[in-house]
């Protein structure tokens, strides 16, 4: 390499640093060398969908998520600033299957001038579970079945590649790496839940977010409230579940980060009144992930947490630090 050449490279580097320091946006007057920076802005509704898109798009897009930790997507209404963000986006991904029950009109409107894609839209019918009475044909909580959710990641990779063919190879490579991680996760969940003694494989929670988990990994799932959180559980439903806890000697029920735990507490009191002790087995992430920047603020972390908590509370043998050594689940 000649001195002149390396000197020129050094000059360009300095120029680039100076340009970034001035806060110039990518590309202005700096053609001739690549300025790393997101080209597209992609907005997602839930954080689970955002996790897929962030992983598959990598450096090639700025990804924004509307619903944060602890947010209930069934009830979520877009704010004015959400609508502005959706309007500015180049591309929108959402869960679909009526998870975003209050956002249908807004998403329809956005679809007039940009791709608006449900990550569940290419899922084969055979992978979907039925919804409950009237409100929705299919249960929307697909991310609870890791291998079905992997189909969502493949859909995102397809759409990103179709809409930005120049970078198709990068999207494919990123998607492959992400899918390998999800494959490991799927195997871990299977082992963690499979280690629960057979008679104890019953998961009682506030709302029916876990049917896919139960179906994919062999747990019986009992929700108090139905698939959406829109209606409160009736007294009769609470009594039914109390009877089940007592009769089957189920010792733990679970609360959720995005749903009120009032109904779960009513169960514990109801069972105690009949002389059967039930404890809270832990807090599960159902419709929302943990805080951004934390392990449970990732899809892998969220599912790892759930599987590990459920396994340990129901007598299984999952490692208390989880799949990646990043959890600290306290055992009762």
Closer residue to Zn ion, CB minimum distance, 167 or 306: 306
Q: How far is the CB of 258 from Zn ion (least distance, A)?
A: 8
Q: Which is nearer to Zn ion, 251 or 290 (CB)?
A: 290
- Interaction mask 126-145, Zn ion, x per CB under 5 A: --------------------
CA–CA dist 204, 161 (Å, integer): 41
Alpha carbon distance 209, 111 (integer Å)? 28
Binding string, residues 47-76; x marks residues near Zn ion by CB under 5 A = ------------------------------
Of 9-17, 23-31, 46-54, 204-212, the window that binds Zn ion (rule: CB under 5 A) is 204-212
Whichever of 42 and 222 has its CB closer to Zn ion, that residue is: 222
Q: How far is the CB of 5 from Zn ion (least distance, A)?
A: 59
Complex with Zn ion: residue 24 or 75, whichever CB lies closer = 75
Instruction: Give me the least distance between CB of 141 and Zn ion, in Å please.
Output: 6
Site for Zn ion in 71-100 (CB under 5 A): none
In the bound complex, what is the minimum distance in angstroms from residue 31's beta carbon to Zn ion? 48
Residue closer to Zn ion by CB (options 194, 226) is 226
> CB–CB of 251/298 below 8 Å?
no
Q: Which bin fits 78, alpha (ψ -120 to 50), beta or left (φ > 0)?
A: beta
Q: How many CA atoms lie within 13 A of 101 on its CB side?
A: 17
Q: How far is the CB of 199 from Zn ion (least distance, A)?
A: 28
Residues 265-304 contacting Zn ion, CB under 5 A: 287
The tokens describing 143, both together, are 């991310």
Site string for Zn ion, 208-237 (x = CB under 5 A): -x----------------------------
- Which region, judged by CB under 5 A, interacts with Zn ion, from 36-44, 202-210, 262-270, 308-316? 202-210
Q: How far apart are the first and last CA of the chain?
A: 65
Total residues at interface with Zn ion (CB under 5 A): 2
CB of 140 to Zn ion, least distance (A): 7
CB of 229 to Zn ion, least distance (A): 6
CB 305 within 8 A of CB 58: no
CB-wise, 70 or 115, nearer to Zn ion?
A: 70
297: number of Cβ within 10 Å: 18
For residue 73, count other CB atoms closer than 10 A to its CB.
27
DSSP string, 173-234: HHHHHHHHHHHHHHHHHHHHHHTS-GGG-EEEESSS--HHHHHHHT-EEEESS-SSSSSPPP
Q: Which CB sits closer to Zn ion, 186 or 287?
A: 287
Minimum distance from residue 208 beta carbon to Zn ion (Å):
7
* Alpha carbon separation from 68 to 1, 17, 197, 236, 287 (Å, rounded): 50, 33, 35, 33, 10
CB 320 within 8 Å of CB 312: yes
Q: In Å, how far are 22, 42, 45 from 252, measured between CA atoms?
A: 57, 40, 32
CB nearer to Zn ion: pick between 61 and 233: 233
- Tell me whether residue 223 or residue 281 sits nearer to Zn ion (CB atom): 223
Which residues here bind Zn ion, judged by CB under 5 A? Answer: 209, 287
């Amino acid at each position: 390499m000649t001195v002149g050449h390396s000197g020129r490279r050094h000059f360009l580097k300095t120029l680039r640093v100076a340009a970034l320091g001035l806060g110039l946006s990518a590309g202005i007057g700096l053609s001739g060398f690549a300025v790393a920076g997101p080209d597209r802005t992609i907005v997602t509704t839930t954080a689970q969908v955002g996790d897929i898109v962030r992983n598959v798009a990598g450096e090639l897009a700025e990804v924004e998520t509307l619903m944060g930790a602890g947010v209930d997507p069934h009830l979520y209404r877009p704010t004015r600033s959400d609508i502005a963000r959706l309007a500015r986006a180049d591309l929108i991904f959402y869960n679909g299957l009526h998870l975003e029950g209050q956002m249908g009109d807004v998403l329809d409107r956005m679809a007039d001038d940009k791709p608006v894609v449900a990550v569940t839209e290419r899922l084969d019918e055979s992978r979907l579970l039925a919804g409950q009475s009237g409100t929705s044909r299919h249960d929307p909580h697909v991310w609870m079945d890791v291998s079905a959710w992997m189909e969502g990641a493949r859909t995102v990779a397809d759409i990103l590649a179709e809409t930005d063919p120049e970078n198709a190879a990068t999207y494919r490579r990123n998607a492959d790496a992400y899918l390998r991680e999800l494959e490991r996760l799927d195997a871990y969940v299977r082992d963690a839940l499979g280690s629960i003694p057979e008679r104890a494989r019953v998961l009682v929670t506030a709302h029916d977010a876990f049917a896919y988990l139960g179906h994919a990994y062999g747990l019986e799932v009992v929700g108090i409230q139905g698939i959406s959180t829109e209606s409160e559980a009736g007294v009769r439903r609470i009594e039914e579940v109390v009877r089940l806890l007592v009769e089957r000697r189920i010792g733990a029920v679970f609360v959720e980060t995005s749903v009120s735990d009032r109904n779960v507490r009513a169960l514990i009191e109801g069972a105690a009144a009949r002389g059967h002790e039930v404890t809270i087995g832990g807090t599960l992430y159902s419709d929302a992930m943990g805080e951004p920047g934390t392990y449970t603020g990732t899809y892998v972390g969220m599912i790892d947490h759930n599987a590990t908590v459920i396994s340990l509370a129901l007598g299984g043998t999952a490692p208390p630090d989880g799949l990646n050594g990043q959890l600290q689940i306290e055992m009762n």
